[in-house]
Copies of this chain bind each other. A is one copy, B any other.
């Protein structure tokens, strides 16, 4: 039974894939066995993280990128994982999904999966990693992980990727600019979407100077080729990737071709520099850590009698026991 599910997925059956993804999200015991089986078939997909604040047009951009990949001379199979950690209750990304459905529905080589948060943060990261693994094994060439929001969770999830896109839009205030300094440091490619809006030039300028702060080696930029920015007075090095800023208008597709080219160049750079393997290792190590934490905490918790646990919580509320004293009591 287990074997046949894995085989169905590996042979590209959509329905089997859809059913199995639900099991993976629910973390069913059977799904773990099948994931184990599929794992050995992974390591081929190019995983691309797309993150940025709400309202930057990420969903539309992801759509446009997918359309480009499908229309290429050698069309790629594309899986999209849309993660929305800010909707712990109602599930999210509803509007984004509707836009997606209109453009991409009916293409058998595109698969879209939306995921809202399922309780714990660790759980979401684990489920995302597992979904990516399934798509990789199922032969999708590209797995796009789109995260809504720009908090730590989104950063962590984006880091699952080989290539991380940070999407910005014009009209961000000073407050936002300050916040983004950290996020820029994880960008392999910076996308200024909605580049037709007023203030786009200002935002581009601000992003450039912030990118200078984030990557201090490359202080001065000049335009090069298709929107690529490389340090002035320095030859382009194959060892070092300078995150380019690319301007796009996702509603009409302007700049999306250049973006797709830059993503390809980044993959090439990763492979040639040995960075691809380093990121694979980092990613698998993070996955192992998450799985290990979840497992040992669950096992530990199962061994504690509910009565003892509740008693300790009551004493915490009464302030007769401190949290550390409670942990010590539980460890004994």
Q: Could you list which residues of chain A lie within 8 angstroms of chain B, going by C-beta atoms?
A: 32, 35-36, 39-40, 42-43, 53-55, 57, 59, 84-96, 116-117, 121, 124, 148-156, 172-183, 185, 213-214, 277, 280-281, 284-285, 287-288, 291-293, 295-297, 300, 312-313, 316-317, 319-320, 322-327, 330-331
Candidates B95, B152, B325; contact of A36 at CB < 8 Å = B325
Q: Is the CB of B86 within 8 A of A277?
A: no
User: Given the complex, which residues of B lie within 8 Å of A325, measured CB to CB?
Assistant: 36
Q: Is the CB of B183 within 8 A of A86?
A: yes
User: Given the complex, which residues of B lie within 8 Å of A182, measured CB to CB?
Assistant: 84, 86-92, 116-117
Q: Is the CB of A288 within 8 A of B323?
A: yes
A181 to B91, CA, bound (A): 9
User: Given the complex, which residues of B lie within 8 Å of A154, measured CB to CB?
Assistant: 151
4 more A-B contacts (CB under 8 A) besides A53-B54, A288-B323?
A89-B182, A89-B214, A92-B178, A292-B327
User: Given the complex, which residues of B lie within 8 Å of A150, measured CB to CB?
Assistant: 54, 86, 149, 151
Q: Is the CB of A92 within 8 A of B181?
A: yes
Q: Is the CB of A319 within 8 A of B43?
A: yes
27 chain-A/chain-B pairs, Cβ below 8 angstroms: A36-B322, A39-B319, A54-B176, A57-B175, A86-B150, A86-B155, A87-B181, A89-B181, A90-B181, A92-B182, A93-B178, A93-B179, A95-B174, A95-B177, A117-B182, A121-B121, A121-B153, A121-B156, A124-B152, A151-B154, A152-B153, A284-B316, A284-B317, A287-B323, A288-B323, A292-B327, A295-B327
A121 to B159, CA, bound (A): 14
User: Given the complex, which residues of B lie within 8 Å of A85, measured CB to CB?
Assistant: 151-152
A213 to B313, CA, bound (A): 33
Q: Which of A92, A154, A155, A325 has the most CB of B within 10 A?
A: A155
User: Given the complex, which residues of B lie within 8 Å of A179, measured CB to CB?
Assistant: 54, 84, 86-87, 92-93, 148-149
User: Given the complex, which residues of B lie within 8 Å of A86, measured CB to CB?
Assistant: 150-152, 155, 179-180, 182-183
A278 to chain B, nearest CB (A): 10
A166 to B94, CA, bound (A): 21
User: Given the complex, which residues of B lie within 8 Å of A313, measured CB to CB?
Assistant: 281, 284-285, 288
Q: Is the CB of B54 within 8 A of A175?
A: yes
Q: Is the CB of B152 within 8 A of A121?
A: yes
